[in-house]
Amino acid sequence: MNLSVAYCSALGGREENEDCVGFCADERIGCFALADGTGGAKGGALAARAVVGEVLRSFQQVPGVRSCNVDWTLAAARRALGLARQRHPDCAQMNTTLATLVIDTLAATASWCHLGDSRIYLFRTGRARILTHDHSVLQAMLDAGLARGEVRARPERSALYATVGSRDIPPTAMCAGPLKLMSGDVFLLCSDGFWDSVDEGAMEEALDEAAFPETWMDGMLGRIPDLSASHMDNASAVAVWVGPRIEMTRVMRAPCADAHRAG
């Protein structure tokens, strides 16, 4: 099995892109990270870049050892955010979400962690499964039976109880254990601006039509009616395909990216 990757980060209708995506991967092992600077405080974009950069730097130091246990990503992210706040006292309340995925094709495992409402999906045999659980007040209310309905398109879903800068880390921040990979597995890391605009049915439909991760990304972006509309949030995603070399050969290394379309 080998890895193939595509990404996007669209500005939407905002003045600044506070999302950041990054990854370090070869055909065997990779670390993929996505952060979404939280609103309401200055410095969201700075926080997202600092966190993604430190997670990738930490991974590069000892990539093989860290392929099965990803709790180090949370420590790296919190360390980076703390340092960024110290260096930029005018942005002392900056904060961000985080979603990280580590894949080792030799061990045939995937592990992940997250804080906030940036999501990680697994598509197996073409069907979507959300691996993460949103750390939002609305999701907690839905879980407790205190609210009903769909999370999407509800403004109150943006109130988060766990982020990189939170004092406490919820148990759902970490995967229970490594996931055994199957050839043909597809992963998607995405910010709330992306999954709020492209539902799971549209993701599956676009995947069924795609031959490569970049065409899948284009297909999902094409299902968003108007990316530049004033109400549109930043929309970012990283797609990771796992499969035989003959099927997937395109592998990229990318810093924090602001590409409008899949790279």
Residue-wise pLDDT for 79-117, tens only, equals 999 999 999 999 999 999 999 999 998 899 999 999 999
What pLDDT, on a 0 to 100 scale, did the predictor assign at position 220?
A: 96
pLDDT exceeds cutoff 50 at 247 = no
CA 221 – CA 216 distance, rounded (Å): 9
More confident residue, 124 or 63: 124
Percentage of the chain exceeding pLDDT 70: 90
What pLDDT, on a 0 to 100 scale, did the predictor assign at position 163?
A: 97
pLDDT exceeds cutoff 50 at 59 = yes
What pLDDT, on a 0 to 100 scale, did the predictor assign at position 152?
A: 86
State the DSSP string of the chain: -EEEEEEEEE-TTSSS--EEEEEEE-SSEEEEEEEEBPTTSTTHHHHHHHHHHHHHHHHHHSTTTTSS--HHHHHHHHHHHHHHHHH-GGGTT--B-EEEEEEETTTTEEEEEEESS-EEEEEETTEEEE-S---BHHHHHHHTTS--S-STT-GGGG-BS--TT-SS--GGGB-SSPEEP-TT-EEEEE-HHHHTTS-HHHHHHHHHH-SSHHHHHHHHHTTSS-TT-TTPPPEEEEEEEEE-TTT------B-S---SS--
Q: What confidence category does residue 25 fall into, taking pLDDT thresholds of 50, 70 and 90? A: confident
What pLDDT, on a 0 to 100 scale, did the predictor assign at position 246?
A: 38
pLDDT exceeds cutoff 60 at 120 = yes
pTM: 0.90
pLDDT exceeds cutoff 80 at 68 = no
Work out the angle at residue 240's Cα, subtended by the Cα atoms of residues 73 and 187, and round it to the nearest 5 degrees: 75
Average pLDDT, integer, range 112-138: 96
In contact, 4 and 243? CB cutoff 8 Å: yes
Average pLDDT, integer, range 167-195: 94
What pLDDT, on a 0 to 100 scale, did the predictor assign at position 153?
A: 74
pLDDT exceeds cutoff 50 at 211 = yes
What pLDDT, on a 0 to 100 scale, did the predictor assign at position 222?
A: 93
Averaged pLDDT score across all residues of the chain: 87
Convert the pLDDT of each residue in 29-51 to its tens digit: 899 999 999 977 789 999 999 99
